[in-house]
Amino acid sequence: MFSMNKFGNDLYTGKVSVPFVRRRRLWFFIAIALVLGAVAVLLIKPPQFSIEFTGGSQFTVSGVEAPDQLVAGDTVREIVPNATTKVTTVGDDAVRVQTDQMSETETREVAAALADAYKVDPAEVTTSFIGPTWGADVTRQSLVGLGIFLALTFIILAVYFRTWKMSVAAIIGLVDVLIVSVGIYSLAGFEISPAAVIGFLTILAYSLYDTTVVFDKIRETTFEDGLKSGRTFAESVELGVNQTLIRSINTSIVAVLPVAAILFIGVFWLGADTLSDISLSITVGIIVAAYSTLFVASPLYAVLREREPELRARDAKLLEARELAFVDA
C-alpha cells in the first residue's frame, strides 16, 4: 500500500528519485513549448485591460438593500447593449459599476436606470470618469517595480549562494512563471486589472521563496560532491530537489487551496467578479511556480555549473572510480 511518508523518506535518502536533472531535456522542451504556447495565446487572443487601464465611466449606487451584481449588469446593457461592464459590491449596501466610456446622455440614462433598478433615490447614484492616464501610470510603475524586483533578486541570490549561476537560473524560472501565468490568465478570458497585476507580482514573490528553499537544499547536497559523497554534481542537484519535493507539493497545496476556493465561490457559485481576477492570477501562478522551480530552475542550475572545469574533473574522477569498482567486482 502506498504511503506518502515512506515515499517522502525514500526521496530523501535517494532510494526513489524523480529524474529532474537526468531528463532535463524533456523538461526544457516542455517548458519552451509552454512559453511559446503562452506567447501565441497573447498574440492570437490579446489580454483585455480593465477600465483602470483603458479609461471609462464609473457608477456607484449607495443605500442598496440587496446589492445584486447581476441587476447592475443587465440594467447597463438595456441602455447600452454592447457595453462592457464590471460590477463589484462595496460594503453591505453599495454597488460599483465600471463600463466603457459613455456620452453624457448615456451616463444620465444609465444613472437613472440604476436608481430605478435598485429602488434608491437618484441622488444615491454618483458618476465619475476614469482617464487612461491613470492606467498608464500604473503600468509604468508596475514595470519599474518588476525591474527593481528582478535586479534585487539577482544580486541577493548571487551574494547569498555565492554564485551568479543560481541567480540566472532563478531569474529565468521567474520569467517562465510570469509568461506562462499571463498566457493562461489571458486564455481564461479574464481582463487584466490592477488586482491581477498585484496577483502576478505576488506569485513572483512566492516563486522566489520556493526557488530559494530548493536552492538552499541543493547547496547543502552539493557541498560534499565527489569521491566523499559518491555523487556527481548533477546527481547531488537531483537529490536536493527530490529531498524538497514533498515540501514543495505540500506548500503549494496549502497555498493554492484557499485562493482557489475564493475563485470557485466567486465565479461558479456567486457569479461575482469580486476578487476573481487576483484569485485566478495567484491560483495559476502558484501551480506554475511549483512546476518551474522543480523542472526548470533546478535542472538549469545543474546545466550551468556542471561544465565548469573543476566540477568536470571531479565528476570524471568519480565516474572512473565507479568503473574500476565495477570491474573489480
Q: Of 130, 160, 194, which one is at a domain's C-terminal end?
A: 130
Task: Cell numbers for 273, please give them.
Answer: 467578479
Domain region containing 70: 56-130
Domain check: are 171 and 293 in the same one? yes
16: alpha, beta or left, given left = phi > 0 and alpha = psi -120 to 50? beta
Which pLDDT score, from 0 to 100, does residue 327 have? 57
- Region 205-215: mean pLDDT is 90
Which pLDDT score, from 0 to 100, does residue 95 have? 85
**246 touches 219 (CB < 8 A):** no
**Could you tell me where the beta strands, DSSP code E, fall in the chain?**
56-62, 85-90, 94-99, 125-130
Assess whether pLDDT exceeds 60 at residue 134: yes
Domain check: are 120 and 153 in the same one? no
CATH of the domain at 118: 3.30.70.600
Task: Cell numbers for 107, please give them.
Answer: 451616463
Q: What is the dihedral of CA 165, 183, 149, 156, to 10 degrees?
A: -20
Domain check: are 95 and 188 in the same one? no
271: confidence class by pLDDT, cuts 50, 70, 90 = low
Domain check: are 161 and 300 in the same one? yes
Domain check: are 221 and 84 in the same one? no
Long-range interactions of 28-34: CB distance < 8 A, separation 24+:
28/296, 28/299, 28/300, 30/295, 31/176, 31/292, 31/295, 31/296, 34/176, 34/180, 34/183
> Considering the entire predicted model, what is its pTM?
0.80
Give phi and psi for 140, each to the nearest 5. -65, -45
Domain check: are 103 and 148 in the same one? no
Domain count, the chain: 2
Q: Of 98, 130, 162, which one is at a domain's C-terminal end?
A: 130
Over residues 103-120, the pLDDT tens digits come to 888 888 888 888 888 888
Strand partners, 226: 231
Q: What is the DSSP letter of 90?
A: E
Domain check: are 40 and 67 in the same one? no
Domain check: are 225 and 176 in the same one? yes
**94-118 burial, b for 16+ CB within 10 Å, e for fewer?**
bbbbbbbbbeeebbebbbebbbebb
Domain check: are 150 and 294 in the same one? yes
Assess whether pLDDT exceeds 80 at residue 91: no
Q: Of 130, 147, 166, which one is at a domain's C-terminal end?
A: 130
Domain check: are 181 and 41 in the same one? yes
Domain check: are 298 and 226 in the same one? yes
How far apart are the C-alpha atoms of 98 and 130, rounded to whole Å? 9
Over residues 148-194, the pLDDT tens digits come to 888 988 998 889 888 899 999 999 999 999 999 999 988 888 888 88
Over residues 214-255, the pLDDT tens digits come to 999 998 888 765 556 678 888 889 999 999 998 888 899 998
Strand partners, 205: none
Query: At 85, is the secondary structure helix, strand, or coil?
Result: strand
Domain check: are 298 and 166 in the same one? yes
Query: Which has the closest alpha carbon to 195: 131, 153, 142, 126?
Result: 142
Run of H or E residues at 26: helix 24-44
CATH of the domain at 244: 1.20.1640.10
